[in-house]
Amino acid sequence: MKNNYALIMAGGIGSRFWPISRTAHPKQFIDILGTGKTLIQQTFERFRNIVPQENIFILTNEIYADLVLEQIPDMDRSRILCEPVMRNTAPCIAYGCHKIQKLNPDAAIVVAPSDHLILNNEEFIRCINKSLKTASENDCLITLGIKPSRPDTGYGYIQYNTKKIDDDFYKVKTFTEKPNIELARTFVQSGDFLWNAGIFVWSVKNILHSFKKHLPEINDIFNEGATVYNTDKEKDFIQTAFTQCTNISIDYGVMEKAENVYVLPSEFGWSDLGTWASVYELADKDYVGNAVIPSEKVIMYDSSNCMVNVPEGKVVVLQGLHDFIVVEDNNTLMICPRDREQEIKQVVADVKQRFGVDFI
């Protein structure tokens, strides 16, 4: 277990959850389902059951370092790896893996987002432990795939074939970005496609070999820091290193190109909580389909299938409203039809243009 490490990615800005998720306080730091714990707190606690706490690192933007410490007070600041600029997932993962390699060249690493929901923690832990063992013993990069319950256009898909290692890990055939609905239906009906959960497991040796082969420029940038990782010179080096990196995802930069990628088909109650629709699906609802978080002072007349998220203590009365999202936070109220929530990103852009960054 001492060779197992976790990298938790917590640098996104969660713009699809505006106005609750803001640049200054994005969704990973919010209790979006009203559970009493924020998403990053839940993620951290989950990984404490898998790897030693001192082997958990959090990758985030430097503007969120204090928020991380505030929400996870027993997290050592030296294990919060700060990106000075946003460069997508490949550079931050390269940074984390190079740093861990200097600490332990025999490390096996799980990389996971901080803002996903896992309903079955026991099964999740089983899948990650199995993957860490397989990744340590084989020349492979592992990704976790979720057995699809519906033809969803909001997820990427992983196609796999029959070649296996350790009985449960299948060779990945193709990665596909978010498909249209017709293609999504075909994928689900075929039976050999899984949702891409964005959770990866590998040995530090194998992932750095893949970076060297498929993203040599990024690998070289972080390899130059070999003598400063885990010293007081690391921060200054990283400030320069990130500005030299291209903006590229680990999926596109490495996983789609590598020949040794395997997937573990999994079922542990996963959702990426990517949209208000996904929150609505998971939230408790009344007998006419209204999901209200929190619900103490909301009164609804002749209203159904609404997603309502308003500040605690605020009295809200809704009448004759059906299939709407009603969200208030940060001096902003948004009311929009549930079937048009994909337009929220454009709304955010318009608000920024008309009223400035204070509302974003």
State the pLDDT confidence band at 70, using cuts at 50, 70 and 90.
Answer: very high
The CA distance from 171 to 174, in Å, is 9
Q: What's the one-letter identity of residue 46?
A: R
Most confident of 69-83, 269-283, 332-346: 69-83
Q: How do the domains of the chain map onto residue ranges?
A: 4-140+198-261, 276-355
Contacts of 128 by beta carbon, 8 Å cutoff, 6+ apart: 50, 110, 199, 201
Taking residues 130-148, report their average pLDDT.
96
- Pair of tokens at residue 26: 């994005």
State the pLDDT confidence band at 134, using cuts at 50, 70 and 90.
Answer: very high
- Enter the DSSP assignment of 255: I
Structure confidence at residue 67 (pLDDT): 96
Asked if residue 268 lies in contact with residue 127, where contact means CB atoms within 8 angstroms, the answer is yes
The CA distance from 7 to 248, in Å, is 18
- What's the pLDDT tens digit per position in 11-48? 987 778 889 888 889 999 999 888 899 999 999 999 99
End-to-end C-alpha distance for the chain, whole angstroms: 42
Structure confidence at residue 154 (pLDDT): 83
Structure confidence at residue 268 (pLDDT): 95
Taking residues 261-274, report their average pLDDT.
93
- What's the pLDDT tens digit per position in 287-333? 999 999 876 789 999 999 999 999 888 899 999 999 999 999 888 99
- What's the pLDDT tens digit per position in 154-203? 889 999 998 899 889 999 999 998 888 899 899 988 889 999 999 999 99
Q: What's the one-letter identity of residue 253?
A: G
- Residue 83: φ, ψ to 5°: -90, 125
State the pLDDT confidence band at 277, using cuts at 50, 70 and 90.
Answer: confident
Q: Which residues are paired to 262 by β-bridges?
A: 142, 171
The CA distance from 113 to 335, in Å, is 29
Task: Kindly state the percentage of the chain with pLDDT values over 70.
Answer: 100
Task: Give the three-class secondary structure for 309.
Answer: strand
Structure confidence at residue 198 (pLDDT): 95
Asked if residue 161 lies in contact with residue 261, where contact means CB atoms within 8 angstroms, the answer is no
The CA distance from 97 to 89, in Å, is 12
Contacts of 213 by beta carbon, 8 Å cutoff, 6+ apart: 258
Assigned CATH for 4-140+198-261 = 3.90.550.10
pTM of the shown model: 0.93
Q: Which of the two residues, 177 and 114, has the higher pLDDT score?
A: 114
Structure confidence at residue 63 (pLDDT): 94
Asked if residue 58 lies in contact with residue 75, where contact means CB atoms within 8 angstroms, the answer is yes
The CA distance from 235 to 225, in Å, is 10
Burial of 65 (0-12, 13-18, 19+ CB in 10 A): middle
Alpha helices in the chain (DSSP H): 39-48, 65-71, 89-103, 121-137, 181-190, 204-214, 216-223, 234-243, 250, 276-282, 344-355
Torsion angle (degrees, nearest 10) of CA 42, 47, 52, 57: -80
Taking residues 135-148, report their average pLDDT.
96
Structure confidence at residue 56 (pLDDT): 98
Q: What is the mean pLDDT of the chain?
A: 93
Task: Give the three-class secondary structure for 45.
Answer: helix
- What's the pLDDT tens digit per position in 220-260? 999 999 999 999 999 999 999 999 999 999 999 999 999 99
Structure confidence at residue 340 (pLDDT): 87
Structure confidence at residue 336 (pLDDT): 93
Structure confidence at residue 345 (pLDDT): 85
Q: Which of 341, 342, 359 is nearest to 351 (CA)?
A: 359
Residue 1 has pLDDT above 80, yes or no: no
Q: What's the one-letter identity of residue 192?
A: D
